[in-house]
Amino acid sequence: MSLQIFLDIATEAALAAGAVLKGYLGKVESETIEKRPGDLVTVADKAAEAVVLETLRRHFPEHAILAEESGKLGNQNQEYLWAIDPLDGTTNFAHQYPFFAVSIGLLINGVPQVGAIYDPFHSELYRAAQGLGASCNRRPISISQTSELSKSLLVTGFAYDRRETSDNNYAEFCHLTHLTQGVRRSGSAALDLAHVACGRLDGYWERGLSPWDITAGVIILREAGGKVTAYDGSDFKMESGRILATNGHIHQSLSEELGRAREVWKVEKKG
CATH number of 3-140: 3.30.540.10
Task: Summarize pLDDT for 69-107 with one digit per residue, the tens.
Answer: 899 999 999 999 999 999 999 999 999 999 999 999 999
What is the phi/psi pair of residue 41, to 5°? -140, 140
Q: Which segments of the chain belong to CATH 3.30.540.10?
A: 3-140
CATH number of 149-270: 3.40.190.80
Contact 236, 243 (CB under 8 A): yes
Contact 49, 177 (CB under 8 A): no
262 pLDDT band, cuts 50/70/90, is confident
166 pLDDT band, cuts 50/70/90, is low
Contact 80, 106 (CB under 8 A): yes
**Among the listed residues 66, 28, 30, the one whose alpha carbon sits nearest the alpha carbon of residue 49:** 66
Q: 203-227 burial string, b = 16+ CB within 10 Å, else e?
A: bbbbbbbebbbbbbbbbbbbbbbbb
In this structure, are strands 64-67 and 80-88 parallel, antiparallel, or unpaired? parallel
How many angstroms separate the Cα of 201 from the Cα of each of 16, 148, 164, 197?
27, 13, 29, 8
Local structure of 60: helix, strand or coil: coil
Q: Which segments of the chain belong to CATH 3.40.190.80?
A: 149-270
Give yes or no for residue 54 having a pLDDT over 60: yes
Q: Tell me, what's the pLDDT at 30?
A: 45
Task: Summarize pLDDT for 146-165 with one digit per residue, the tens.
Answer: 999 999 999 999 987 666 66
pTM of the model: 0.93
